[in-house]
Structure formats: C-alpha cells, structure tokens
Amino acid sequence: MSDALHEKTAAELGSCLVAGETSSEEVARAFIERANAVDEKVHAFLHRDEEDFLAQAKASDERRAKGESRGALDGVPVGLKDVICHKGQPLTAASRILENYVSPYDATTTTKLKEAGALVWGRLNLDEFAMGSSTENSAFGATHNPWNLSCVPGGSSGGSAAAVAAREAPLSLGSDTGGSIRQPASLCGVVGMKPTYGMVSRYGLAAFASSLDQIGPFSQTVEDAAILLEAISGHDPLDSTSYPAEVPNYSEVLNENKGPWKLGLPKEFFGEGIDDEVRRLVDEAIEFYRSEGHELVEVSLPMTELAVPVYYVIATAEASSNLARYDGIRYTHRSDRTGNAIDVYAKSRGEGFGEEVKRRCILGAYALSSGYYDAYYLRAQKTRTLIRQDFEKAFEQVDAILTPTSPTPAFKQGERNEDPIAMYLSDVFTISVNLAGLPGISVPCGFTEGGLPVGLQVIGQAFKEAEMLSVAHAFDAAHAFGRKSPTL
C-alpha cells in the first residue's frame, strides 16, 4: 500500500491524525492535489471550493491542538453528491434548471458530518435528479469510470463512486432510490451502502421518489462505511419518515459478530441475464462464506420479476409530483421565451430538464392521471407489499441474503443510450431492496479478465445494519478488493 495520504482509508487517516503523523490541512491539500491531477479525466466533481475545504481543515487542526477532537471522522474529507444541501455551496442536481441555485441551509447529513468534524469536500456529479444508471444524464458532462475511462461509472451516484475509486476522496455520500449507490459501487470497485429506509434523514436531499430515496456511504472498505454510517444515522424530527432506531457503534460491532450465519441465495437472482464473469466472481465469493463454515440456503423471492415495472410506476409517479416545484417561477431557471404564465411553466421546464427527466415526469403524470391511478399506482403499491412480504418470509430462514449487485460489469459510454429498457435493467438486482425498505451493501468481489470490478450484494433485515455489515466485512477484510486502485 502506498504511503500517499490520498491512498489511505478514512480509518487510516483518522489514526494518522490521532498519532500526530499528519495534519488535517496536509490531508486536505493531498486530496486537492489528487483531484487537480486526475479529475479532468474522471469528472467526478461538479464543483470544488478549495478555500472552504482548507478552512475546515484548519479548524479541525485547531480543535485537535486543544484536545477537542470530535472523533473518528474529525479532519477526514467526505464528498457530497450534488443533491445533498451544503449551505453556501451550489446544488444543481446535475440539471440546467438548478444551474444557479445555492443551498441556503445544510441537509441533516451535512450538519451531522460537520458535528463529527469531517471536512465536507465538493459537489459530486450524478445523473440529472438521480434519474439514471450511468451518470451520462448529467447536464454538465458524463463521469468516467476510473478503471476504464471509456466505460460508465454506473449511476445515479457515479461521481460519488468514481471519486472514491480515483482516490479523490476517502469517503463520499450518495443517494439510492433503486440502486443508485450499490450499482455504481459495484462498477467502480468500491463499497457502497444503502441503509434501511428511515435510518438516515432525507431532510435537505433533493427529492426524486420520496418513499424510496435514502442517503448512504461510499468507501474503500466496509469498516469505513460503518464509521460514516454511524455519523449520519439517527432520528431527525425534520424528516417525517425518519425512524427512531437505535444507532449502534457500527465499527466496533463489525468484528464481534462472526456467525456462523445462515445466508440466503435467492434463485431468482441467479438465472438468465447475468454476465458469465460476474457469475463466476460472485460464486467464488459465495464459496468463501461456505469455506468459513457459514450455511448457504436457497431461498425464493417470487415477486422479483415484478420489481422493475413496479419500481418504474412508483418512482416516476413520485418524481412527477416532486419535480412540479421546479416551475420557473421561484428559484429555478426561467425561460426568456415567455408570453404568459403557461409559457413560463412549460418553456422553463422544457429548457431546464433533460430527456430522461422529461420521460420519467411524463410517465409518472400518466400513472397518476384520472382513470389510471388505480390501474397503475395503486396496483404497484399493492405489489410492492408482496415484494416486501417475500423478503420477510426469506428472513425467517436466513440472517442475510447474497446476490450479484449488477448483472454486468461497467459498460461502454453511449452503449445503452438508445435503449432505456436495457439501461433500466442495470438495476434489476437492487430495486427490490428499495421497494422493501431494506438495507443493502455492495462489496467488491474481484475483477473481470478485462480489469473491470464486480460487486457482491449483501441484503440485510430492516434496521439490522450491524449484522449485514458484519457479513460484508467478513469477506471484505479477507480480500480487500476495494483497496486496489486504478492507474490514472
């Protein structure tokens, strides 16, 4: 492992800071230098405020000098997906409609990061309004996969995954509505986790689909993800969907629970459509658990085949409702070509939104329209309940579930742009976890012969993040695929 600060994990940086081997300002400068060196190729960031970043680092060093360190994240950089509010910084959601918007307040997750002493670092690229699986739908240019710059990093949190993979940030936050953390984590060879719905506050997150969205961490290791999850979790009265669950010391319990576990293999996730190399690497990861004495059990999630259509009814319906606020009248882009109020609304949205956002808003408005609400939205919500019940039955038999994260490794940029259905199927293994409100984590489990990363998904029971993290950590600690870094 390199001694370079930008190569270190968050836990290692924390240890170096505690031991006085480096300063927070030196850490910040190392990541500024790294971003300046490689981000022109990767395009993970939409905005970097180096002056603010260094001011945060200086404040961290001053606290430490007084013996007032705030814990494991004090002085450690964390990048933010550009849908999470950071007061005084831009929030574009990678959309022209919010091109000139500056956050007037902090998201709860941002507040929690600041309270933990973390250095909030930049605005990370994404698919516009988090709608996509490749980070090609950004109005400000696509992000490239650090392992192969001609490939996509996944999406929608592609900038957050690529920043960690390219070592431009040791940690980052993304949002996951149907796989938007786990799928890019898999394609970029990093750890990415979606917590249980309600575990992390959504206050200050630009909404896509409110019953599905959840903020979560990216990192090199499961240990780092646990440290960051602990900092951002907890009940928030500002979010009506926030759940008053206890927040354990995740990083401490990682090594305490060693099983043996009963791990479920859902037969519906191992059928057709999986790339051969993905199948081989996931099978090898499963064999590791078997060799460690854990019991592997076949389970069935029969409603899985309905997850994609159900998701695209619910998510688009909620998106069309949430995005109605971007109307050209209050704080968004306003068209110059307007003659009346209807023009302001229609032309501002027409110019401000990209094709994928328009497609989803139209689909959602249709599903919610008079005469179709019962046929589509209501039926989708009833089927969603059946999907959740499938998981509940499976968890009566097993402690956690293992699946591939993505059916394929990273694909070439532009390859699926003309086929929205092929793009939507990128999330076929992740969507049902959001519909059921469960926690899921993608852990790097190897590389294809072409050098592209592959991820193993561990699905846990609601609010049992600690057990799910322990299962993921057992594999991650033994293999450390997330510690390998690409040559840029």
C-alpha Rg value of the chain to the nearest Å: 21
| Whether the Cβ atoms of residue 445 and residue 229 lie closer than 8 Å to each other | no
Catalytic residue among 23, 157, 172, 180: 180
Pick the closest to residue 95 from 303, 309, 332, 274 (CA basis): 332
Whether 180 is catalytic is yes
Q: Count of CB atoms within 10 A of residue 10's CB?
A: 26
Per the CB < 8 A criterion, the answer to whether 316 and 360 are in contact is yes
Sign, CA torsion 52/54/59/63: positive
Question: Is 426 tagged catalytic?
Answer: no
DSSP letters, 119-168, are EEEEEE--SGGG--SSS---TT----BTTBTTB---SSSHHHHHHHHTTS
- Decide if 175 is catalytic: no
CA 147 to chain centre: 18
Please provide the DSSP assignment of 411-476 as one string.
-BTTTTTT-HHHHHGGGTTTHHHHHHT--EEEEEEEE-TTS-EEEEEEE--TT-HHHHHHHHHHHH
**What's the rounded Cα separation, in Å, for the pair 469 and 221?**
11
* Residue in 8, 81, 194, 347 annotated catalytic: 81
Rounded to whole angstroms, the Cα distance separating 172 from 168 reads 10
At position 286, the amino acid (one-letter code) is I
**Residue of 153, 95, 160 whose CA lies nearest to 121:** 160
> Cβ distance 96 to 352 under 8 Å?
yes
User: Measured between alpha carbons, how far is 300 from 22 in angstroms, rounded to an integer?
Assistant: 51
Strand extents, DSSP E, 300-452: 400-404, 440-447
Please give the angle made by the CA atoms of 238, 387 and 253, to the nearest 5 degrees: 60
Rounded to an integer, what is the distance from CA 401 to the centroid of its chain? 19
User: Which of 24, 95, 133, 156 is flagged as catalytic?
Assistant: 156
Strand partners, 173: 80, 217
The angle formed by the CA atoms of residues 362, 366 and 368, to the nearest 5 degrees, is 120
Task: List, by residue number, the catalytic residues.
Answer: 81, 156, 180
